[in-house]
Amino acid sequence: MMYEFREIGVLDTPSRERLDDHSLSVWLQVLTYIADLQKLEDDWDGEGASRVSDEMLISTFRLAMALMETGNLPPQIVSPFPDGNTNLEWHHSDGTIERIEVDGLNRGELMVTYPDRKRSAKFSPLAWSTRAIWERRDVGMGVAFVKTVALDLICPNIPSGEGLGVASGWDNFQMAV
Amino acid sequence: MQPNEASPQQPPIEPDEFLLRRFPNETGLFDFVLGNATYSAFLPNRNDQDGLSLNRETRGSSDGFLTPEEHLAKAGTENFRNTGGVAAIPVSDVISAGMTVVIDDDPDSPGHVLIPELNRADYDAKSPSGEKPGKQRIKLLADELARKATIRIPPKPK
């Protein structure tokens, strides 16, 4: 299986400056909500839910910071999952919902669903640092990365050439990030 | 128990009934702007190994099922009982989304039912490559429920 890693579209003009004051204010609220997740104890739902671990909190913070620093609008929802993972949600006016589940250190999964069932939902693995977010895309045999300036900054040891790099796997990529 | 099959304690489930799902008042389980439960409230918890747990909403005292208030009063913690919320989902929407509703008699929980497709065992199951295909499927179904659900009792703001 070959994967291509590309910056997700919202990151192609990295700039926090394009966020207005209101959005920045909401982002600060979002960071507060994420911090609040550490108050949850095991069995927070009374049905055996797991607490949000420190690793998951750090990972969620890094994701939020990367999204904010790269000029993305803040999510409307920050929620814990019963298994201790965390979730950010963006609800769009056309009924599309984008969600990122944080399921490990610097990694997670993007899920996009639509109001009608004619359009198939989309799942994409993601990896991030505080500077960028990467989406894995299947493109054939092996594993490849799209080389960008941001990737050079975060992950200089990933071999690359002509804008496309090849490395040994998604797990290694996540560890490098 | 097969879908829509009656049990010693319950009559068959009708498509025009509503099912109740309670959720605690925690960050992100309820959108106070839109007034909806989020899909996190419909993901199976550790007690949902065989399927998502819900209760049939009463349509009159003779059926013996629960009101939303009675459903919330059966939550496991005092904080949950005092501040949690209750969502309602039409059985017809559950079925049209490709799920089933199965009676699961519980003397302590009148009208208790399960949606077996939303079970925690599949949610946690990993393939040899480490992926969780069951979890993706369940997240999509939870998304369907969240889009169709209405709120009977909103949680109390913190």
Supply the pLDDT for residue B70.
Answer: 96
Out of A43-47, A164-168, B86-90, pick the least confident: A164-168
Q: Which amino acid is at A108?
A: G
Confidence check: pLDDT of A136 > 70: no
Mean pLDDT by 10 residues, chain B (158 residues): 70 95 89 87 92 95 92 91 96 95 92 96 88 91 95 90
Check B28 against A115: CB less than 8 A apart: no
SS3 call for B121: helix
- Euclidean distance between CA atoms B100 and B117, whole angstroms: 7
pLDDT of residue A163: 29
pLDDT for A9: 38
Instruction: Give the single-character DSSP code of B60.
Output: S
Helix (H/G/I), strand (E/B), else coil: A32: helix
B14 class by beta-carbon count within 10 Å (0-12 exposed, 13-18 middle, 19+ buried)? exposed
| Chain A residues closer than 8 Å to B29 by CB | 79
pLDDT digits (tens, 9 = 90+) for B100-129: 999 999 988 999 999 999 999 999 998 887
CA B78 – CA B75 distance, rounded (Å): 8
A176: pLDDT strictly greater than 50? no
Is B18 an 8 Å CB contact of chain A? Answer: no
Over chain A, what is the mean pLDDT?
71
How do the domains of chain A map onto residue ranges? 2-176
Stretch A42-71: mean pLDDT, rounded?
87
Domain borders along chain B are 18-153
- Is residue A160 pLDDT above 80, yes or no? no
Residue ranges of chain A whose CB lies within 8 Å of a chain B CB: 33, 36-37, 40, 43-49, 76-83, 87, 89, 91, 97, 99, 101, 109, 111, 113, 115, 121, 123
**Per-residue pLDDT, A13:** 41
Rounded Cα gap, residues A168 and A175, in angstroms: 12
ipTM: 0.88
Size of interface A-B (CB pairs under 8 A): 75
Please give the DSSP secondary-structure letter assigned to residue B144: H
* Strand A142-146 to B112-115 pairing: unpaired
Q: Is the pLDDT of residue A154 over 60?
A: no
A99 pLDDT band, cuts 50/70/90, is: very high
